[in-house]
Amino acid sequence: MSQDRAASILGPILRTNEFLGVGPFVRPVETKGHYKHSRRFMRYIRFASFMVKFWWFRGLGLFTMKYFFARSYFRAGVSDFGRNTVATVGLLLLSRKLTEVNQVIVLSDSFSHREESRKWVSRLVSRMNMLVWGYVSLRIFLDIATFYSENLMPVFMESEMFIDPAGVPPNMYPLILCYAFVDMMFNRLITSVALLLNQVTYIVFNFLAFTKFSNFDSDIRDCLRNRGGPNHIWRLRLLHADLCQLIIFMDDLFSPLALLLHGGVVAGYCTETLRFIQRYERGLDISESWLTFFTFALNMTYLLTMISITTASTSKLCESPKRSMRIVHDLLQNYGAGFANMTAGSQQIRLLLSQMQVKYVQMTAWRFYKLDRAALMTTLGASVTYVSVVVQSSTAD
């Protein structure tokens, strides 16, 4: 049924990607072997993709002009341009490998869907998609509140428009205020949505693949419970080989994005700490201090939460083969006289174990390191180290 297909399960996240110009993705209903999209939809995809690239070039221009005309805001510009770059590169990586992403979606449908795992992934995708838009809505609200509470209109004129606030007539303030709000909205809708969406897309694909391994483990248990014959075990061998190919394919597809996200977490901790220190250096009143601290805590919590969930999803995949091997060992030990064709069945089980030992599956960060549980501690350790360097450097200055 169409609602059980991966394109339908991942639908909310795929549509959010298409909102930012990454697409088109496959659809749950196939017509004559081709997935058809309207011309209007394709025009929107091209327009959204153009807007994302345009926003990056705009950010590059502002970043360059700050160096020459607003040097005091250049440090803050490094943070903003860095986030914009990570977000844009992540979207471009997905766009460049769109054919492979669609192949992963279609290939995952060749494996069995179990009702409980399908519902679990569907709920996860829906909640992750709600998280994306809920977080971005909160950030837009905080941007507006900070803009008013800290009276950032003069700062916006100097850092984003490169004009002297003293020389601006009062009747131009409403127009500049509208421009500032539009700028904040677009910045969050493009940069913040893209940053979070890159991570969420990676996470849901990992958990979808993990459910396929979980279904494979259930098939092995069913074979043990139902005392399946050698042909059943032979089919499990073919299924395991296909699952390994799926994970290898996913690692080739997403490993550059994984390295980008892990590096972005370390850079994010450093830039947020530096920005927090700079805000307190210039002095804040009580209301501004509370709002600044809340924003800082939200950013740090976001970085820690997303890198933890991302690493949890990849570590689940890395641990799946070992868990499957333990179940197959139990199958071999319990493959007794009650089974049909005991000798042939035992041989198939030993071949399956050998295949599991040879086809070692893992998720990596562009082949630099394995994304297991230890990768989380490595990333957090690097973050603490570089944040300490940033704090010491700022204190010394």
Q: What is the pLDDT of residue 135?
A: 93
Q: What is the pLDDT of residue 327?
A: 86
Lowest-pLDDT range of 27-41, 117-131, 166-180, 186-200? 27-41
**pLDDT, tens only, 285-318:** 545 567 878 888 898 999 999 999 999 999 998 8
Among 307, 304, 303, 306, which residue's Cα sits nearest to residue 371? 307
Portion of the chain with pLDDT greater than 70, in percent? 89
Q: How confident is the model at residue 5 (pLDDT cuts 50, 70, 90)?
A: confident
Q: What is the pLDDT of residue 132?
A: 93
What is the average pLDDT across 191-213? 93
Q: What is the pLDDT of residue 149?
A: 84
**pLDDT, tens only, 228-267:** 677 888 888 889 888 888 888 999 999 999 998 888 888 8
**pLDDT, tens only, 163-179:** 999 889 989 999 999 99
Containing structural domain, residue 77? 2-396
With beta carbons less than 8 A apart as the criterion, state whether 360 and 321 touch. Answer: yes
Nearby residues of 342 by Cβ (< 8 Å), 6 or more positions away: 335, 336
In Å, the largest CA–CA distance within the chain is: 94
What residue type is assigned to position 102 of the chain?
N
Token digits for 69? 């005309």
What is the average pLDDT across 58-68? 92
With beta carbons less than 8 A apart as the criterion, state whether 79 and 274 touch. Answer: yes
Q: How many domains are contained in the chain?
A: 1
